Amino acid sequence: RSGGCLNGGSSIPSLTTGEHMLCLCPDGFEGTHCEQAKAGQCYEGVGLYYAGTTSTSGSGHTCLEWDVDTRERFMTSDVNGGRHNYCRNLFYRRRPWCYVWKNQQVVWEYCEIPRCVQVLRKSSLLSFNLKFTTCGLRIRPKQMKIVGGTKATIESHPWFAAIFWRSKSREMVFRCGGSLISSCWVLTAAHSRRFYITLGKQVLNESEPTSEQTFRVKKIIIHERFNNSEGNFNNDIALVQLKPRQGRCAEESQSVKVVCLPPPGHMVQPGVTCEITGFGKEKHGLWYKSQYLREAQVNLLAQDVCGQKDYYGNLITENMFCAARPDWSQDACEGDSGGPLVCEIQDRLFQFGVISWGDGCAKEFRPGVYAKVSNYNAWIEEKTGLSFTGRGSPPL
């Protein structure tokens, strides 16, 4: 009877049938179900693009006008060059905020602004005919909590590929990560070039024959335009072809599955929380890598934020994006390169990024940098001979 009206909206019935006809929305909201705050009245993600006129903190204090230094460094493109006291999200905090005068001192407080609610709709991601493949589906729920993360089960990340090389002493040495995109192909970073791939691995110094599948490498294809002359690993992406065993490559199991790839040019919004996985160092400066597969959550940053001079400036190209935690507590680190950054879209995991580079680990204003996978769909199809159109990722 309510017609699904949200945010205090009222259902207006049809005069002929008495059934719900439309929603009468309260001030500040619009949409079929009053699900969306009017432009400027809500924020998306963590509010990096919020440009509304709310100027009161959550405790009811009036915001102070932004100071000259802050305006010149961060708000030159804002309304009136930032000469106002409207709430904004500078310094990549959790949501829009402002400075207020409280208890005889200047402090900052979050503003009471609603988050924009988006109606779930069949996006271009899900227009892929996914019913013919199990890509991006995991058996066990993620355990959530690499740097600042927690141990992960391989069943939560069954597409993760551990890349090894054999030393002169015949020892298998872990080099970097990757992700399984089809039964015979692994996606990784261009600066990760070695010889053995193990799928289904959860502990580096232990082998589990019942869940692991190990392959030699048949071919490595590094992107032709991979370039580190500027120190930014542009086009940092590569493909590794597995050498079949008895005519077969990877076989699907609870611990081995393919990840979904997004459509060309598709990218999730800044502020969205995604996951990274790897065996990399748990802290910058350690001499050893993690023995256990670890996972962490990071939020995507807007391109213009990561390109600011206080971040990475012009080192960030259109082939990259950045991600970090608002408190800089979790991040990829040395040894995580080549591993996947995946985002959940209606119960499936899509790989939007390949872990590439960064200045230190979990360092303020130095987020992790990732190769943007959706820029390389055509290149992946050309090199592998696989067709991802209509399926997200080929099944095993």
CB 395 within 8 A of CB 132: yes
* Residue 191 annotated to the active site: yes
Rounded to two decimals, what is the model's pTM? 0.69
CB 87 within 8 A of CB 63: yes
Full DSSP string of 115-135: BPPPPP---TTTTS-GGG--T
CA 259 centroid distance within chain: 14
Residues paired with 196 in a beta bridge: 164, 216
CA–CA distance from 262 to each of 60, 133, 218, 389, 393 (Å)?
Answer: 43, 14, 26, 10, 9
Taken in order of first residue, the domains within the chain and their CATH numbers are: 10-110 (2.40.20.10), 135-386 (2.40.10.10)
**How far apart, in Å, do the first and last CA atoms of the chain sit?**
46
Higher pLDDT, 9 or 381: 381
Q: d(Cα 53, Cα 34) in Å, to the nearest integer? A: 21
Amino acid (one-letter) located at 86:
Y
Answer whether residue 395 shows pLDDT above 80. no
pLDDT of residue 277: 93
* Helices and strands: H and E segment counts in the chain: 3, 19
Catalytic residue, candidates 191, 211, 266, 284: 191
Helix residue ranges per DSSP H, the chain: 68-74, 303-306, 377-384
The residue with tokens 């699904």 is 4
Catalytic residue, candidates 156, 183, 337, 356: 337
* Residue 337 annotated to the active site: yes
Please enumerate in sequence order all residues whose Cβ is within 8 A of that of 189, keeping only pairs 6 or more positions apart, or say none. Answer: 176, 233, 236, 237, 238, 337, 338, 354, 355, 356, 371
Q: d(Cα 19, Cα 367) in Å, to the nearest integer? A: 52
Q: Give the pLDDT band of residue 141 (cuts 50, 70, 90).
A: low
Answer whether residue 151 shows pLDDT above 60. yes
Catalytic residue, candidates 57, 183, 236, 393: 236
pLDDT digits (tens, 9 = 90+) for 176-229: 899 999 999 999 998 665 578 999 999 988 889 899 999 999 999 999 999 998
* Residue 266 annotated to the active site: no
**SS3 letters across 199-256:** ECCCECCCCCCCCCEEEEEEEEEECCCCECCCCCCECCCEEEEECCECCECCCCCCCC
Answer whether residue 344 shows pLDDT above 80. yes
pLDDT digits (tens, 9 = 90+) for 51-70: 888 999 999 999 999 999 99
The residue with tokens 């729920």 is 141
Q: Give the pLDDT band of residue 318 (cuts 50, 70, 90).
A: very high
Stretch 134-156: mean pLDDT, rounded? 71
DSSP state for residue 79 in the 8-state scheme? G
pLDDT digits (tens, 9 = 90+) for 89-112: 887 787 899 999 999 999 999 998
C-alpha triplet 92, 156, 149: angle, nearest 5°: 40
Stretch 267-293: mean pLDDT, rounded? 80
3-state secondary structure of 367: coil
3-state secondary structure of 377: helix
3-state secondary structure of 74: helix
CB 264 within 8 A of CB 388: no
The first and second tokens of residue 110, run together, are: 């979050």
pLDDT digits (tens, 9 = 90+) for 225-272: 999 988 899 999 999 999 999 889 999 999 999 999 988 888 888 888
The first and second tokens of residue 227, run together, are: 């370039």
3-state secondary structure of 375: helix
Full DSSP string of 124-164: TTTTS-GGG--TT--SSPP----BS-EE--GGGSTTEEEEE
The first and second tokens of residue 155, run together, are: 């069943």
Torsion sign (Cα): 230, 235, 265, 273: negative
CB 340 within 8 A of CB 354: yes
